Amino acid sequence: MAEQPLIPPRGKVNLADYSPDYTGSWDRESAQEYVQMLREQLSVLQNKLYADGRHAVLVILQAMDAGGKDGTIRSIFTGVSPQGVEVTSFKVPTEEERSRDFLWRVHKRVPRKGMIGVFNRSHYEDVLVARVDGLVAESVWRKRYDQINEFEELLTESGTTILKFFLHISKEEQKKRFEERLTDPGKHWKFSLGDLEVRKRWDLYMRAYEDVLEKCNRPHAPWHIVPANAKWYRDLVVMETLVQALARLPLRFPLAEAGIENIVIPD
């Protein structure tokens, strides 16, 4: 089990209180063995979720650049049936999306019943990037916290379990990962000069994330602060939280058709 309390308490959140290096009593080898066990459980539970068709799960991943969102998705959903998982990566809004309310494009991508939906970035960009880069007035983004809470409450009441993960890396770890992208030709495509401009605003983003973790942390849709400098521990925390959430759902396989016990398959 992951030892560090992941869900911030109600009230002021200070990310300096959460070490990105934390791995508890785990080591890489034992963590990977545990994750493999959880991966097998996830495969069974995801199959049951899909067959049951009465519930949905939405996994939201937020992080600074190089925070590990893509890697988390690859690791967690290895071995899971592709037909039961939908991944959405939210990029810069299109002209059509900008002409609508900020939740319009998000609501369209919410997973249907029986599915696990994964948001690689999400509606929280509209109180992070929009705030730090001044894309909208403060009077606009401040209202969005309540609008997001109401939106997520609607989803929860409609049968969607929401799991929100902030993959918490240090500024030093981000520098290391950026340097790896520069030296590895296979990762050049993942690096953009714009990443350096965002890095200059690191402290502003930390304050914006702290507000998100404070204002949008609700019992029906809690945030999990995941120490993510060690990728293997990050995977353990996310996988364990997802498996436990699925295990709590009252999932069941549909009843067989009447008379199935008497059917004989012809030669």
6, part of any domain: no
Cα 32 to Cα 20: distance, rounded to the nearest angstrom: 19
Tokens read off for 134: 């001044």
The answer to whether residue 115 sits within a structural domain is: yes
What are the angstrom distances between the C-alpha of 17 and each of 62, 77, 198, 227?
19, 30, 23, 11
pTM summary value: 0.94
Beta bridge pairs of residue 56: 160
Name the percent of the chain lying above pLDDT 70: 98
Q: pLDDT grade, residue 4 (50/70/90)? A: low
Residue-averaged pLDDT of the chain:
93
Chain segment 17-46, per-residue pLDDT in tens: 999 999 999 999 999 999 999 999 999 999
∠ CA 169-116-258, nearest 5°, is 155
Instruction: Classify strands 85-89 and 160-168 as parallel, antiparallel or unpaired.
Output: unpaired
Instruction: Give a yes or no: residue 84 inside a domain.
Output: yes
Containing structural domain, residue 196: 15-248
Cα distance between residue 163 and residue 241, in whole Å: 8
- Total domains in the chain come to 1
Q: What is the CATH number of the domain that holds 46?
A: 3.40.50.300
Average of pLDDT values for 52-61? 98
> pLDDT of 190-229, one tens digit each?
888 888 999 999 999 999 999 999 999 999 999 999 999 9
- The answer to whether residue 62 is domain-embedded is yes
Task: Look at residue 181 and tell me if it is in a domain.
Answer: yes
Question: Would 263 be classed as within a structural domain?
Answer: no
**What is the 8-class DSSP label of residue 133?**
T
* Cβ atoms 60, 124 nearer than 8 A: yes
